[in-house]
Structure 1
Amino acid sequence: MLAFVVLVFLVIGLIHFYLYKRLLRDPLRPGRTRRVGAVVAAGLGLLLPVTLAGTRTGHLAWLAWPGYLWLALMFYLLVVLIPLEIPRAAVLLFWKLTSRTKEVARNQTDGSHSVTQSDTRGEAAIEAGSAESHGDVATAEGSAGIAPETANDGDGVGRRLVLARGMAIFAGLTAAGITGYGMKTALGGPQLDRVSIPIAKLPRSMDGTRLAVVSDIHLGPLTGTRHAGRIVDLINSVQADVVCVVGDLVDGSVAELGRFAAPLADIESRYGAFFVTGNHEYYSGYEPWLEEVARLGVRPLRNERAEINGLDLAGVNDLGGAQHGDAPDFAKALGDRDTSRPVVLMAHQPAAASQAAPFGVDLQVSGHTHGGQMAPFNLLVKLEQPVVSGYGEVDGVPVYVTNGAGFWGPPVRVGAPPQVTVVELRTA
């Protein structure tokens, strides 16, 4: 654990030193502004671990907004700056090669002229006068506050300064613009997506059954009291037959967030609303939340299934529950059912489909990935989960992954808008 903490601080420190160098040290001359920037960079470096630790334990909630917004902005600064390192290096190399070529040409020109001894003496006198003249110019430049090596921005240090400032301004404006757009998307409420999925064993009487699938609501210190209410309003607008809440409902205890979850009691559906745990329920006290969710009229499916006319709806605990003595049990949920009936499985993580495959699951609905939440982070999510967003297959099991209706950490979504999905089941 100590080694992990040290590694985290080391990585955060290196990231902030890199940002300080590219955004402050390189584009600014030595002085007070650069020193203040170094202090700010160090403070932002400390802000991140304090925010992550404080919000996880329920303390220092007031740090959530500045801490998580800086996390998003830091991420996009890196996304922009790191690719710019290649053209930056190319420009610097080009300038270096050009300078060497000019120097070689100048030396060759100087060496090609021969002069007589008298001419040399005359030239020496001229050069002495020229040196005196140049000294006067240098003195004038010094009195004007211009460093001789940077007096011409087209050469040496001056050119590097222009390049560094251009790179810093471009990265800062681009990262800020992306982060602002992502905030507007994340805080603007979920969109409604519809998808039709055929199920071979679905009886004709159940053709067109609508499942309202919602995941990753993430009630927490940044969501406020309206977050769950507008999600419930959107769910009710589709007149769903079944509502599936597929985990990660909360980021905090019932005592802290119970009032935020109250709108769940207003969910309307033909056959009821159902819930399975996500990994974040285990960080927030899953047992009190199971009781609270049931009290609000949403039935937890705890490695069990419900029979809905000609359809089985099963639910398993999240894979992360194993570390808390509450592991998923696929055999218990699926093992003794009538296999002539179609079954839809609620499982928080798409990866659960690998363990569900031997039981002949007809469709799994999941969340967990947030669709990547902040592109290009979705590329990293692909390393952990077999399906990041939308429809896919895992070991022969059809899996639909909804982006989630909320956000975790930064209140920012880029390339993966929040959503509630209506899955319409069709006979094949």
Structure 2
Amino acid sequence: MKGLSILHLSDLHINKKSSVDSIKELVSLCNKSSAQFVVITGDIIDCKVKFIKEKLEILNKIEKQTYYISGNHDLFYGFEPLKNCLKNLICLDNKTEIFEYQNKKIAIGGFSDRFSKFFGIKREEQKVLKFLQNYEYAILLAHQPKDYTFALKSNCKLFLCGHTHGGQIYPFHYVVKLSQPFLKGLHYRDQTAIYVNKGLGYWGINFRFKANNEISLLKLR
């Protein structure tokens, strides 16, 4: 997968206070980037879809192939309405896709968030892993870092996630580390690269300290 570029977004947390201009700016950045495709690893929304429908539909103007999965906030506020808004984006909750790059097939799979069982949604982990195991080049998407163990089981080259906000406000970093194996950035386990995106949005209050928000352009080499 040498030379492949992926634009990694996470934890947008779009809500009533999110500006239309900021979302348009994000879409413009995606379209101008050198990435072959875009992934969003959960928590796109932070309120009910009916209040932000017009804002969410702006994301459909991303011209590059874009894959997304659910986060815990998406499930809480309504994942079905969200999917209905994002008609031009590909939902990979418990699904798989093939992306062709330089005559090679890259398998991409995703999980619904770990909280999905509380919303009557079954995570089809084995189905996704079995598909990914058949390909030399495979990428797994999940919202929470602790799902990295599934990437190791399926021999994925790359695991992408978010959820932590990088702690958002120091010293809450230490609290996050009690429940998640990774807080932010790049890590390696066996032959798998793990990247934890700190996210663009906020949870609770619109404030970050020692955990700046992030858009990641990942270049494989």
Is the structural similarity TM-score above 0.5?
yes
2:78 to 280, 285, 297: 285
Cα deviation for residue 396 of structure 1 reads: 6.2
- Tell me which residue corresponds to 2:165: 370
Distance in 2, matches of 1:328 and 1:356, equals: 15
Between Structure 1 and Structure 2, whose CA radius of gyration is higher?
1
Identity of aligned residues (%): 29
Distance in 2, matches of 1:340 and 1:282, equals: 30
More helix by share: 1
- Tell me which residue corresponds to 2:154: 359
Does 1:308 pair with 2:94? no
Cα deviation for residue 337 of structure 1 reads: 4.1
Q: Structure 1 pair 235/324, CA: closer, same or farther in 2 (3 Å)?
A: same
Q: Structure 1 pair 262/249, CA: closer, same or farther in 2 (3 Å)?
A: same
Distance in 1, matches of 2:147 and 2:73, equals: 16
Deviates more, 1:325-334 or 1:360-369: 325-334
Does 1:254 pair with 2:49? yes
- Tell me which residue corresponds to 1:424: 219
1:298 to 89, 99, 111: 89
Distance in 2, matches of 1:334 and 1:236, equals: 31
Distance in 2, matches of 1:425 and 1:280, equals: 30
Q: Structure 2: which amino acid aligns with 1:281?
A: D
CA contact (8 A) 1:303 1:333 kept: yes
2:26 to 231, 234, 244: 231
Cα deviation for residue 221 of structure 1 reads: 2.5
Q: Structure 1 pair 357/338, CA: closer, same or farther in 2 (3 Å)?
A: closer
Which ranges in structure 2 are unaligned for 5 or more consecutive residues?
A: none
Does 1:222 pair with 2:17? yes
- Tell me which residue corresponds to 2:68: 275
Distance in 2, matches of 1:395 and 1:239, equals: 29
> What is the aligned-residue RMSD (CA, Å)?
1.7
Cα deviation for residue 228 of structure 1 reads: 1.8
Q: SS in structure 2 opposite 1:348?
A: coil
Q: Deviations over 1:19-68 (max 9, x none)?
A: xxxxxxxxxxxxxxxxxxxxxxxxxxxxxxxxxxxxxxxxxxxxxxxxxx
Distance in 1, matches of 2:117 and 2:188, equals: 24
Distance in 2, matches of 1:261 and 1:290, equals: 10
Q: Deviations over 1:115-158 (max 9, x none)?
A: xxxxxxxxxxxxxxxxxxxxxxxxxxxxxxxxxxxxxxxxxxxx
Q: Deviations over 1:69-122 (max 9, x none)?
A: xxxxxxxxxxxxxxxxxxxxxxxxxxxxxxxxxxxxxxxxxxxxxxxxxxxxxx
Distance in 2, matches of 1:212 and 1:264, equals: 14
1:124-273 alignment runs, 5 A limit: 202=1, 207-269=2-64, 272-273=65-66
Q: Structure 1 pair 416/337, CA: closer, same or farther in 2 (3 Å)?
A: closer
Q: SS in structure 2 opposite 1:400?
A: strand
Distance in 2, matches of 1:289 and 1:208, equals: 32
Aligned length: 217
CA contact (8 A) 1:354 1:394 kept: no
Q: SS in structure 1 opposite 2:178?
A: coil
More strand by share: 2
CA contact (8 A) 1:351 1:385 kept: yes
